[in-house]
Amino acid sequence: MAEARPRVWVSQPLFDDIVDRLQQYFEVVAATEVTAYTPEAIAAQLRDVDGAVVTLNERIGTAEIAGAPRLRAIANVGVGYSNLDIAALGDAGILATNTPDVLTGTTADLGFALLMAAARRITESERWLREGQWGQWSFSTMLGADVHGSTLGILGMGRIGQGIARRGHHGFGMRVLYHNRSRLPQPVERELGAQWVSFEDLLAQADHLVTVLPYSADTHHIIDAAALARMKSTATLVNIARGGIVDELALADALANGRLAAAGLDVYEGEPAVRPELLALRNVVLTPHIGSASLATRRAMVTLAVDNLIAALGHGPQAGRPSSPVNADAVAAAAMKKTAGCKR
Ligand code: 8YV
């Protein structure tokens, strides 16, 4: 009897022509409409599959994989993977992959767009105009802050942070300061015109601060009331990383009370819910997590996720070598432990 083909689950409608490539190797169960899953529904979908393609909507940890003995690989569509409990997946021998690089430029573009929109009060002005409030042109209408020639602060200097630095330095003649656990090599710093500073100095000196660091227990609310208090009252804060990086209530308070000029947010702690305290403010630009949302980039992300899953499950030209694994060491350690256990 022919061996049953491996099964994979695709959690959301992505691009059919790309997802269809999975059918060459697997039996595919793919969502046909955008779906909000309960943890139980995710567990049920994972129960009988060997692999899955998921998005940031699907939180997967110990409970979701407990009843999924066949599961070997999860391909996340996104560079950030705070939706996945990487330690739990590693222990269970499940390889997780992400989609770096292909979204760097698009996400850096959005970070810059939010910075400019917040600093120059673009969405606020437009709303005001549409509301019919533009009675007469006046000299002092919607005065904002300059972007060119100002000091750009970047918290987290990975690929996207470097993309923002490049835009600021080469395009807008900005002085670029950054803070990151590790310093960039000097030639890269030179190319980006970027200087490493302490977290405290970054907060104090930035005219515009962009947060682009991965979310973890260590970075939870790294921008809290104390951090905001160190910033210039004329400064702009942009968050394109994950909502939990910023204490949103402290931010709303600072924006409402003139302790910070403006903010641009693409990500939220409770997304898709956005705090009423933020919605009520004029001086914050709010976008619905669209950092990587250009058609070309979203297609490239799905292509990479699909290729990763095919490779992780041992098929295709890169069989066994997906190009962007995030927990390969943990999976190898779990396999060693299992082998050692068998020998005993
Ligand atoms: C994605 C993102 O759209 O890559 C990331 O980390 O936040 C976004 O680019 C999202 O992850 C889709 O799952």
Q: How far is CA 312 from CA 49, 174, 188, 308, in A?
A: 14, 42, 33, 6
CA of 242 to the centre of ligand 1 (A): 10
User: What pLDDT, on the 0 to 100 scale, is given for residue 339?
Assistant: 84
CA–CA distance, 287 with 310 (Å, rounded to integer): 33
Q: Which of 57, 239, 301, 308 to mutate to test the pocket of ligand 1 (most atoms within 8 A of CB)?
A: 301
Stated length of the chain = 344
pLDDT at residue 145 greater than cutoff 80: yes
CA-based nearest residue to 331, from 97, 78, 58: 97
Tokens 């917040």: give the residue: 118
Atom nearest to 81 CA in ligand 1: 6
Atom nearest to 56 CA in ligand 1: 13
216 close to 82: Cβ distance less than 8 angstroms: yes
What is the DSSP track for 149-164? TSEEEEES-SHHHHHH
CA of 173 to the centre of ligand 1 (A): 29
CA of 193 to the centre of ligand 1 (A): 28
- Over residues 290-317, the mean pLDDT reads 98
Q: Which residues are catalytic?
A: 242, 271, 289
The neighbouring-strand residues paired with 178 are 154, 196
Output the average pLDDT for the chain: 96
The protein residue whose alpha carbon is closest to atom 11 in ligand 1 is 78
Rounded to whole angstroms, the maximal C-alpha distance in the chain is 85
User: What pLDDT, on the 0 to 100 scale, is given for residue 3?
Assistant: 75
pLDDT at residue 340 greater than cutoff 90: no
The protein residue whose alpha carbon is closest to atom 6 in ligand 1 is 80
- Over residues 56-75, the mean pLDDT reads 97
**What tokens appear for 103 in the block?**
């979204």
- Over residues 218-244, the mean pLDDT reads 98
- Over residues 236-261, the mean pLDDT reads 98
User: What pLDDT, on the 0 to 100 scale, is given for residue 60?
Assistant: 98
Q: Which of 34, 103, 213 to mutate to test the pocket of ligand 1 (most atoms within 8 A of CB)?
A: 103
CA–CA distance, 115 with 200 (Å, rounded to integer): 21
pLDDT at residue 343 greater than cutoff 90: no
pLDDT at residue 308 greater than cutoff 80: yes
Q: What is the pLDDT of residues 274-293, one digit of tens each?
A: 999 999 999 999 999 999 99
Q: What is the pLDDT of residues 150-202, one digit of tens each?
A: 999 999 999 999 999 999 999 999 999 999 999 999 999 999 999 999 999 99
pTM: 0.95
CA of 206 to the centre of ligand 1 (A): 26
CA of 132 to the centre of ligand 1 (A): 37
pLDDT at residue 344 greater than cutoff 80: no
Q: Which residues of 211-235 are buried (b: 16+ CB within 10 A; e: fewer)?
A: bbbebeeebebbbeeebbeebbeeb
Q: Which domains does the chain have, with CATH numbers?
A: 7-101+295-343 (3.40.50.720), 104-286 (3.40.50.720)
Task: Give the dihedral of Cα atoms 190, 191, 193, 196; nearest 10 deg.
Answer: -60
pLDDT at residue 53 greater than cutoff 60: yes
Q: Would you say the C-alpha torsion 230, 233, 239, 243 has a positive or negative sign?
A: positive
CA-based nearest residue to 105, from 177, 164, 155: 164
User: What pLDDT, on the 0 to 100 scale, is given for residue 335?
Assistant: 87
CA of 282 to the centre of ligand 1 (A): 26
Q: What is the pLDDT of residues 66-111, one digit of tens each?
A: 999 999 999 999 999 999 999 999 999 999 999 999 999 999 999 9
Whole-number percent of the chain with pLDDT over 70: 99
Atom nearest to 98 CA in ligand 1: 4
The protein residue whose alpha carbon is closest to atom 1 in ligand 1 is 78
Name the DSSP class of 244: G
95 close to 328: Cβ distance less than 8 angstroms: yes
User: What pLDDT, on the 0 to 100 scale, is given for residue 1?
Assistant: 60
User: What pLDDT, on the 0 to 100 scale, is given for residue 305?
Assistant: 98
User: What pLDDT, on the 0 to 100 scale, is given for residue 2?
Assistant: 67
Q: If pLDDT is split at 50, 70 and 90, which confidence band does 130 have?
A: very high
**Ligand 1 environment, Cβ below 6 A:** 55-56, 77-80, 103, 291-292
CA-based nearest residue to 289, from 276, 274, 306: 274
The protein residue whose alpha carbon is closest to atom 9 in ligand 1 is 292
Q: Which of 37, 60, 77, 294 to mutate to test the pocket of ligand 1 (most atoms within 8 A of CB)?
A: 77
Residue 47: other Cβ atoms inside 10 A: 16
How many helices and strands (H and E) does the chain possess? 15, 12
